[in-house]
Homo-oligomer: A and B are copies of this chain.
Amino acid sequence: MRVSAKADYAVRAAAELAAVEDGPVKGERLAEAQDIPLQFLEHILLELKHAGIVRARRGAKGGYWLARPAEEITIADVIRAVEGPIANVQSAPPESVHYRGKAEHLVEVWIAVRANLRAVLEHTTLADLTTGKLPKAVKRLAASPDAWEHR
């Protein structure tokens, strides 16, 4: 239930790309803007490229840009590109685990957890993120003061 540095970096770099309308952006500029170790970031950008989220050109005037409009790329897309499936129990997808005894209904709980994660991550796009115009449901969740409590 934690967001890795890699996933965090990937989303931040993608957000930075989403905010630029013209031409390719160098890896170095992204690294500086978001304070991410450059060489690590390039590995991440490469994975985003393989996933078809980002494109790149080398050479002078080269750099990275989004393969699709920022409105069509969700945070879930970015995270899946670098981390694989979003919610696993013991490295297996929740729907494939089999419980016995009194824990039978636990599978439904994990499914519900995943559904609720997706509800946020699949509906927030990079465009939402850069403009601050998050989906209403997300805004509502983040607006509640006790969502900010530590526990």
A: residues with CB less than 8 A from B are 1-5, 8, 11-12, 15-16, 18-19, 33-35, 75, 79-80, 83, 85-91, 93, 95, 99-106, 108-121, 124, 128-130, 132, 134, 138-139, 141-142, 144, 147-148, 150-151
Chain B CB within 10 A, most for which of A11, A83, A90, A116 = A116
Known A-B contacts: A1-B83, A2-B89, A109-B134. Give 12 more (CB < 8 A): A1-B3, A1-B88, A2-B91, A3-B87, A15-B103, A19-B102, A34-B100, A85-B150, A109-B120, A109-B129, A112-B141, A116-B141
The 9 closest A-B pairs by CB, nearest first: A112-B141, A115-B147, A116-B116, A108-B142, A3-B89, A12-B103, A19-B102, A2-B88, A115-B141
A101 touches B16 (CB 8 A): yes
Copies of chain A in the complex: 2
A90-B12 contact given A100-B35, A109-B134, A115-B142, CB 8 Å threshold: no
Contact of A15 among B12, B88, B91, B102 (CB under 8 A): B102
